[in-house]
Amino acid sequence: MSLSSLFTIFISGMLINNIILSKFLGICPFMGVSTKLSSAVGMGLAVIFVIFGASVFSWFLYYYALVPLGLEYMKLICFILLIASFVQFVEMFVKKTSPSLYKSLGIYLPLITTNCAVLYVALDNITQKYTLVETIVNSIGVPAGFMLMLVIFATIRERLDSADVPEAFKGNPIALVVAAIMAIAFGAFAGLV
């Protein structure tokens, strides 16, 4: 695989098929965390780390354990258990090394387990039959797009808080309207590669 095809995978994962605006994954935690910029940045970095680590480990698990044993149908169970364990491990690590970060992330750190995006990337690497290098690039590109969205939305939502929003739309509904407009904007990336 050439450098240009790796670049394509990265840009495709981050912008063209943006995980939030194009693939609709990772929205549950997205709604919750994108309210403040500081937590958005911290969450974004945590998600990049988790998706990267979990996907690479899943790749190895699939090709070196499940396939040789003919147990491909156990893929879902094994991947989600791996993700849960990995998040648990990251949680313990963050708690020990940086208690302030742990406190600021709060409940959202263990909730990364149920972030659809994590499982999706792990599964997608297998579906697309990516090699290890392609897996690594994809597993960084996609959460980079997630973090990009988190940061953009946090800044917008901070402004929305002081805007005059109709009662029924306050909070999540208006954020979704913003997402709708951004989806149009990001649609412009469609012909990029």
Partner 1 sequence: MSEKKQKRSFVSEMLYNNPVFGLYLGICSSLAITTTLNNAIGMGIAVIVVLVLSNIVVSLLAPITPDEIHIPVYIVIIASLVTIVGMLMQAFTPQLFSALGAFIDLIVVNCIILGRAEAYASKNNVLDSAKDGLMMGLSYTFSLIAMSFIRQLLGTGVLSMSNPMTNAEIFSLRLIPEGYEIGIFTQQTGAFLTFAILAAAVTAYKNANDKKEVAKQKAKEAQA
Partner 2 sequence: MKKESTLYKVLLLGVLCAICGTLLAGVNAVTAPIIEAAAIENEKANLELIYPGATFKEVKDFTDESGLIQGVYEAEGKGMIYKIKNTGYNSNGFTFLIAFNNDGTVGGYTALEHGETSGFGSRAFEGDYVEQIKGLTSSDPVPLLTGATITTTAVQQGIDAAKALFNEANNISYDPNAVAEAAPAPKGDPLPLNSDYAEFKCEVEELSNDGTTAKYHVTSRGFGLLDPDGMASHSGHEYKRNEAEIEVDLASMTITNYTLTVFGDTEGIGDTATTEEKQQEFVGKTLDDSIDSVTGATWTGKSLAAMAQAALNAASGN
User: Rule CB under 8 A: which residues touch partner 2?
Assistant: 73-74, 77
Structure tokens at 29: 């935690």
Residue 59, φ and ψ in degrees, nearest 5: -60, -45
Angle at 139 between CA 49 and CA 73, to 5 degrees: 110
- Residues between 66 and 85 with contacts to partner 1, criterion CB under 8 A: 73-74, 76-77, 80-81, 84-85
Return the number of the residue (80 or 105) whose C-beta is nearest partner 1.
80
In the complex, what is the shortest distance from the CB of residue 4 to partner 1, in angstroms, rounded to a whole number?
26
116, 148, 151, 152: which one contacts partner 1 (CB under 8 A)?
116
Residue 187 gets which letter from DSSP? G
Q: Are 192 and 51 in contact (CB under 8 A)?
A: no
Site of tokens 């993700």 = 83
Q: State the residues that interact with partner 1 by CB under 8 A.
A: 21-28, 31, 73-74, 76-77, 80-81, 84-85, 113-116, 118-120, 123-124, 127, 166-174, 176-177, 179-181, 183-184, 187
